[in-house]
Structure 1
Amino acid sequence: MKKVLLAAINARYSHSNLALLYLRGHVSDLPFEIEIAEYSINLDTENILRDIRERNPHAVAFSVYIWNTLIIQKIMASLHEGDPALKIILGGPEVTFNAPYWLSVFPFITAIITGGGETGFRKLLIDDLSCQEQIINEVNPPFREISFPYRHEDFMKLANRYLYYESSRGCPFRCSYCLSSRHDHKTEFRDMYQVREEIDFLVNHGPRLVKFVDRTFNARPGRSRDIWKYIIDAHSRTGTCFHFEIFPAFLTEEDFNVMAKAPRGLFQFEMGIQSIHEETLQMINRYGAWEETAEKIHRVLAPGNIHVHTDIIAGLPGENIFTFGKSFDAIYRLGAHHFQVGILKVLPGTEMRERTDEYGMKYDSAPPYTIIHNQWIGRNDMDIIKTIGEAVDRIYNPGKFQATLHGLEKLHASPFSLFADLARFTAITRCDLHDMHEWKDIAGMILEYISHNFPGTALYITDCLRWDWFTTVKDRRYPSLLAGDIISSGKKRLAALLQDRSFREKQLERGVQISLHELKRAKFFIAETREFREEYTEGMAYCLTIPGKELIFLDNC
């Protein structure tokens, strides 16, 4: 029996490839040994090659996306050089809309399967991996008739990875930058009984996250509401979180009533806003009034039970650095838990790609086809926005610099001006935010920025950084850049005060009691500036957290 290896090279180890599972299920009755191998782009290419060769397949089918294109090109060329008889099959969005180019550069490719892929892959296997035409484009059956892709035996390998699930395919919108918006991609839905059974199957295997990959999950609000109701009723206590990409303007009063019943941590919503400007939205075929969108996002955020992720895209037509800044400020001020600053990718097969000359666009010729500039925004401004995106990802998104960000924002006219100023500072000092992963490294960059640009606020911002460490990091030992004499001397002063009877009695009147033994085990904070104390610690000088007790504020007089 011939072995066909379905190979995925994912962007991260925590990701998995749903498409290959669908392909396997669609040919399970055919006389082939189907094997799935998943790798990460962070693995060494030679290790991936060695693993594929050791599996000794008759054919290898790669799922090609913008993040793995260059790696797959290198791997398949090496595979062909080592074994010219090996059949190489490609599929996925990156080859669907420029298949002739791939065949011209890599003529040894056996076949490229375009579109949905399930029926085309089945036809290729029925023909025993031989085909008269190298480009295979077959119409899939209705989505509800395609087999559920997961099997019980899959979950050993999927432990600690995201589980992807789709209850619908296609998208009702026609956004010019998105492949899902093409007119030849109709929107299809699985039947509700299938969705309920399939959710049950997934949750029974105890995943941490089930990520619905429906492009607009609430395209049919009544249907999405029924799914939310089912998950709340059946799976609220399982420990699994469900991720949905939704369009906020479609949310109804009934939706908000249902969402209010969801326990914290059950749902997370991703809402791509992209821009708040009507002209830009019209140019990309995306519609919706910003005021209505903002109001509904505020309503999702208000109860605090749903984790919210918002997106913006830089480089869209009609938007310059100033109007982009206004979009940035408006979306940032929503206060979502995660704010992604994306850069436009000019993908093959999209209307945006077709309008390249009209918009005066220049983009990278290699994947992921990132825009360099267009007639509205220049190269230098795009470079600043890229750095802004990195700064937001490092400082805002982890949620561990909230007090510091609040302090920094007070020094600038707007959030965008803050992050633009940080971006310019990192460019001047050649500070690479992309390589900063440790809290203390980011804090050090912020302190350096303050000492150069706002030296008069250094003590206050240092208080903010200490508070962020105190409230978000488990380690009770401060990093050296924040420790200083104030922490050690402050703790000694407090120890002396705790031996003073009048001080202890005054704290008891406030309902606070602490022993010297507890002080030794406590995580300790002291503010240097009155401004910070008045803003965060009720005017008190000392703040402690002790295992088993709530946050404690202690006066020093």
Structure 2
Amino acid sequence: MKKILLTTLNSRFTHTSIALRYLYANLKELQDDAMILEFSINDAVQNIAEKLLAHKPEIIGIGVYIWNVSYVSELIHLLKKVSPNTKIILGGPEVSHEPFRVNLDSADFIIQGEGDIAFYELCVAILNNSATQRVIKMSLPSLKNIALPYRFYTDDDIKNRYIYVEASRGCPFECEFCLSSMDEKVRAFDLNVLLEEFELLWQRGARNFKFIDRTFNLNIKTANRLLDFFLEKKPPYFAHFEVVPDHFPDSLKAKISLFPEGALQLEIGIQTLNSEIAANISRPLKLEKIKENIKFLQDETNAHMHLDLIVGLPGETLESFGANLDELVRLSNSEIQIGILKKLSGTYINRHDIECKMIYSDIPPYDVLQTSTLSFEDIQIMKRFSRFWDLTYNSGNFKQSVKLIWQEQSVFERFYDFSAWIYSQTDSTWKISLQRLGELLFTYLCEIKGVNTEFVAKTMLEDMMKLKGRAVAHYLKKYADNLNINNKKGTSGFNKRQQ
């Protein structure tokens, strides 16, 4: 039995919570009486409550995020019904800024801000019956005083899940849609100590490192040393960094170009290429430098790029967004993640509400529903566009086939038409098998677009048969026979992209 439980609901099983491990690492003498129990949003809430209460805890600390806040509200309700004396402490982004848009009133305490040290102090007060302040607003703690969390990833975590790490906290930019803009000061951990911890993780078998720093390449000296850490290792491994798109000096480019294929992923938050819209949301946009860097990464490195665009920014039209997408596809073959603007509590995006007639949902994930330049119908269409883009373009299952939708024309306009057509056939964006999706793409290209059937079949077969063990889809069987492509027994359908 443990007095203190640390828990959260991750968005999927392969994720881990670095926040819980920070809290555990800093519990000092209370550590022996504490335990981390992680779940995912796919777990039944009543089962989660049962597993937590089986330990008869005095305190349960819960990390609350946009993807789990509704489930946490239900979990608190259950915990308090069954075990009203158990003290519940909430922390995380969804409780650090008001207004709260989900009912969390049943919680006993809330820590707003970085709770690495505050959680320990509150637990001591609770166990001594001296805790009186329900909402604790934290100032930024010195990173020198925080114990690092990395030794508290289990062997099972290392074997089966992503290991989240960070070299710094904070962001110097003021993008109005982002919570990181609330903490303008960038603070760095002691790099020598950090690299020692990473080496221990590596020796234990860790090979998937996802850095959560908002501006990995802001400090080039630090970035180069971190890249050196991985370059000195023998592949295979996977390192993910979120980078500033306009800041790639030659020393950094030289390092990035040395990574083998599949080892390095760079998440690049473009969001918009429209200078007027970028200025409107206080986002720096050095357009020519961004294009130059994307072209370098595309042409001269093996890095996998993950480029982000947002639908629904104040003042942006479908035409402007379409121009952004067309330009990114022209610059790179990389994954382009199309997101819908969200209004997070505490961000400054609300200053546009009246002028740009911004209407948002009050239900997580708090996405935009309508603007002065985009109707509700427009945004619904773009949500479907985004989903079908993920299934076809981003998935990698139709790498060359999907390009036949637009060929030399506007990517946005032609995929917009395809998205509308496929939705008319399915009336859904979910639970469409990859086999069915491929057949719909084949039908659209041949019957709606009028592309030569044998050419479409040949292109799709080349996409599908790149990996051994694939089976030829039934609608392509006769074309495979004509092209002397043998039906390969094994897994049927298509390759699913690793998330």
Do they fold alike, i.e. is TM over 0.5? yes
| 1:260-311 deviation per Cα after TM superposition (whole angstroms, max 9, x unaligned) | 2223333211111011010111011111222220111110121342111111
Q: In the TM superposition, what is the alpha-carbon distance from 1:8 to its structure 2 partner?
A: 1.3
| 1:395-431 deviation per Cα after TM superposition (whole angstroms, max 9, x unaligned) | 1112221221232222x62111121011111232234
Q: Is the Cα–Cα contact under 8 Å of residues 172 and 184 in structure 2 kept in the other structure? A: no
Segment drifting more, 153-162 vs 142-151:
153-162
Query: Any idea what SS the aligned residue of 1:419 has?
Result: helix
Matched with 2:425 is 429
Distance 1:122 1:358, change over 3 A: farther
Length-normalised TM-score, structure 2: 0.92
Q: In the TM superposition, what is the alpha-carbon distance from 1:221 to its structure 2 partner?
A: 1.9
Matched with 1:110 is 108
Matched with 2:35 is 35
Q: In the TM superposition, what is the alpha-carbon distance from 1:463 to its structure 2 partner?
A: 2.5
Q: Does 1:462 align with 2:457?
A: yes
Length-normalised TM-score, structure 1: 0.83
Cα distance in structure 2, aligned partners of 1:167 and 1:477 = 44
Matched with 1:450 is 445
1:290-301 equivalences in 2 (<5 Å): 290-301=287-298
Distance 1:355 1:29, change over 3 A: farther
Matched with 2:222 is 223
Query: Structure 2 counterpart of 1:42, which letter?
Result: N
Query: Any idea what SS the aligned residue of 2:269 has?
Result: strand
Cα distance in structure 1, aligned partners of 2:18 and 2:423 = 40
Matched with 2:95 is 95
2:339 to 332, 338, 342: 342
Matched with 2:120 is 122
1:5-404 equivalences in 2 (<5 Å): 5-30=5-30, 33-98=33-98, 105-129=103-127, 130-151=130-151, 154-182=154-182, 184-233=183-232, 235=233, 237-404=234-401
| 1:307-346 deviation per Cα after TM superposition (whole angstroms, max 9, x unaligned) | 1111101111121000010011111222243210011111
Matched with 1:553 is none
Cα distance in structure 2, aligned partners of 1:13 and 1:226 = 31
Distance 1:273 1:12, change over 3 A: same
Q: Is the Cα–Cα contact under 8 Å of residues 99 and 345 in structure 2 kept in the other structure? A: no
Query: Structure 2 counterpart of 1:19, which letter?
Result: A
Give the percent of matched residue pairs that are identical in Structure 1 and Structure 2: 30
The gaps in structure 2 that reach 5 residues or longer are: 490-499
Cα distance in structure 2, aligned partners of 1:318 and 1:339 = 22
Cα distance in structure 2, aligned partners of 1:201 and 1:60 = 30
Cα distance in structure 1, aligned partners of 2:380 and 2:117 = 43
Distance 1:136 1:372, change over 3 A: same
Cα distance in structure 1, aligned partners of 2:256 and 2:163 = 22
Q: In the TM superposition, what is the alpha-carbon distance from 1:77 to its structure 2 partner?
A: 0.2
Query: Any idea what SS the aligned residue of 2:369 has?
Result: strand
Q: Is the Cα–Cα contact under 8 Å of residues 394 and 437 in structure 1 kept in the other structure? A: no
| 1:102-137 deviation per Cα after TM superposition (whole angstroms, max 9, x unaligned) | 6xx444321000000122212211213552221012
Cα distance in structure 2, aligned partners of 1:101 and 1:467 = 49
Distance 1:131 1:359, change over 3 A: farther
Distance 1:162 1:418, change over 3 A: same
Q: Is the Cα–Cα contact under 8 Å of residues 3 and 34 in structure 2 kept in the other structure? A: yes
Distance 1:219 1:160, change over 3 A: same
Q: In the TM superposition, what is the alpha-carbon distance from 1:521 to its structure 2 partner?
A: 9.2
Q: In the TM superposition, what is the alpha-carbon distance from 1:140 to its structure 2 partner?
A: 4.2
| 1:432-478 deviation per Cα after TM superposition (whole angstroms, max 9, x unaligned) | 2332352x22111112323552245334322321222222x423531
Q: Is the Cα–Cα contact under 8 Å of residues 257 and 301 in structure 2 kept in the other structure? A: no
Segment drifting more, 282-291 vs 212-221:
282-291
Query: Structure 1 counterpart of 2:314, which letter?
Result: P
Cα distance in structure 1, aligned partners of 2:475 and 2:186 = 54
Q: Looking at both structures, which has the greater relative contact order when contacts are Cα pairs under 8 Å and sequence separation is at least 6?
A: 2
Query: Structure 2 counterpart of 1:404, which letter?
Result: S
Q: In the TM superposition, what is the alpha-carbon distance from 1:97 to its structure 2 partner?
A: 0.6
| 1:496-545 deviation per Cα after TM superposition (whole angstroms, max 9, x unaligned) | xxxxxxxxxxxxxxxxxxxxxxx98989xxxxxxxxxxxxxxxxxxxxxx
Distance 1:489 1:285, change over 3 A: closer
Q: Is the Cα–Cα contact under 8 Å of residues 8 and 37 in structure 1 kept in the other structure? A: yes
Cα distance in structure 2, aligned partners of 1:272 and 1:373 = 23
Distance 1:289 1:20, change over 3 A: same
Question: RMSD of the alignment, in Å?
Answer: 2.3
Query: Structure 2 counterpart of 1:480, which letter?
Result: H
Query: Structure 1 counterpart of 2:125, which letter?
Result: D
Cα distance in structure 2, aligned partners of 1:65 and 1:374 = 25
Q: Is the Cα–Cα contact under 8 Å of residues 143 and 188 in structure 1 kept in the other structure? A: yes
Q: Is the Cα–Cα contact under 8 Å of residues 5 and 35 in structure 1 kept in the other structure? A: yes
Matched with 2:496 is none
Query: Any idea what SS the aligned residue of 1:131 has?
Result: coil
Cα distance in structure 1, aligned partners of 2:178 and 2:115 = 19
Distance 1:374 1:292, change over 3 A: same
Distance 1:311 1:454, change over 3 A: same
Segment drifting more, 421-430 vs 115-124:
421-430
2:468 to 470, 474, 494: 474
> Which has the larger Rg?
1
Give the count of matched residue pairs.
487
The gaps in structure 1 that reach 5 residues or longer are: 492-518, 524-557
Query: Any idea what SS the aligned residue of 1:429 has?
Result: helix
Query: Any idea what SS the aligned residue of 2:355 has?
Result: helix
Cα distance in structure 2, aligned partners of 1:180 and 1:47 = 34
Cα distance in structure 1, aligned partners of 2:101 and 2:473 = 53
Cα distance in structure 2, aligned partners of 1:57 and 1:128 = 12
Cα distance in structure 2, aligned partners of 1:107 and 1:220 = 41
Runs of 4 or more, structure 1, over 4 Å off, are: 99-102, 519-523
Query: Any idea what SS the aligned residue of 2:228 has?
Result: helix
| 1:132-190 deviation per Cα after TM superposition (whole angstroms, max 9, x unaligned) | 221012334311331110226623344210000010000111110000111x4521001
